[in-house]
Amino acid sequence: MGNSKQMYKTGSVVSKDSTKIGYRQMGSGPGIILLHGGVNASQHLMKLGTLLSDDFTVYIPDRRGRGMSGPVGEDYSIEKEDEDLDAMLKKTGAHYVFGTADGALFALHAAIYNPAICKVAAYEPLVFAGQPELDQFRITIQHLDKNMAEGKVAKATVDLTKDSVNFVKPIPDFIMIPLVKLILWMNVKTVKGDDVSYQELIPTLDDELHLVEKTEGTLEDYKNVSARVLLLEGSKTQSLLKESLDALNEVLPHSNLVELKGLNHDSAQDYGKPEPIARELKSFFL
């Protein structure tokens, strides 16, 4: 879970609704904010942050509901994510934002309304734009709703894995669930410092996926993004995300879409392969 040996300092801002947003900071140079995706926290972008830290002052917030930040709150919305990022931009003076997965969606959405954002790089955001695969994605959300309502974190993890990894699907739940429970327990025992356990992170995905679901019918809104946008995708990612990126690239006024060979949806994280992404970001932001 993250790499506590990497040097960073911490800080915090207060969002519009008084929610605290904690962040990690490293490096020097122009400011850049990195937004993580769903079942992740700031700890999972430390390798990418370190790769950028020679050229940028890097800020990696724990998005609300995680780690150093306050709770999601009862009236959670994409506008709350906009407000959290706005608080970070005002505190840091940064004008560059990178996001991955849901973090990429929130970075782009904030740029519709926030002129402080001059450049955005978005790695595989999902916007509901009529893709054929959306029905299956809605079923995934329904499974997660049910499991979270029943407090079944291990079962939720198994179902999410089976929905996204084909070779796991034939393995029976009576084998998978005890194994996942053991992994989650071991993870809780080993998490240190500012890092967050997966046991705590998994429930945050439920609220977040409902925000993604609400992007249906909003594609035209992204015509109002004045910032320059770099859209990034891995060659190994699923068609659902590729179609989302193609749709965004059609409507964004100032965008470029780049495919990175050999990468998948997890590549920006510490457990992925962030080096090619860092190279693209340096070329775009510098």
The pair of structure tokens assigned to 5 is 């040996």
The whole-number pLDDT of residue 8 equals 97
Pairing of strands 9-14, 20-27: antiparallel
* Residue recorded with tokens 């009236």: 75
**What is the C-alpha separation between 2 and 133, in angstroms, rounded?**
32
Biggest alpha carbon–alpha carbon distance for the chain: 52
Question: Angle CA(116)–CA(40)–CA(245) in degrees, nearest 5?
Answer: 60
**What is the C-alpha separation between 187 and 198, in angstroms, rounded?**
7
Q: Tell me phi and psi for residue 121, to 5 degrees.
A: -115, 125
* Residue recorded with tokens 């519009």: 16
The pair of structure tokens assigned to 61 is 């917030």
Is residue 232 within 8 Å of 258, Cβ to Cβ?
yes
Q: Tell me phi and psi for residue 143, to 5 degrees.
A: -60, -45
The whole-number pLDDT of residue 202 equals 94
Per-residue pLDDT of the chain (286 residues; tens, 9 = 90+): 334 457 999 999 999 999 999 999 999 999 999 999 999 999 999 999 999 999 999 999 999 999 999 999 989 999 999 999 999 999 999 999 999 999 999 999 999 999 999 999 999 999 999 999 999 999 999 999 999 999 999 999 999 988 877 788 899 999 999 999 999 999 999 999 999 999 999 999 999 999 999 999 999 999 999 999 999 999 999 999 999 999 999 999 999 999 999 999 999 999 999 999 999 999 999 9
- The pTM score is 0.95
The whole-number pLDDT of residue 4 equals 41
The whole-number pLDDT of residue 168 equals 87
Beta strand segments in the chain, E: 9-14, 20-27, 31-35, 57-61, 96-100, 119-123, 228-234, 255-260
The whole-number pLDDT of residue 1 equals 37
**What is the C-alpha separation between 118 and 228, in angstroms, rounded?**
6
**Dihedral sign for Cα atoms in the order 17, 22, 28, 33:** negative
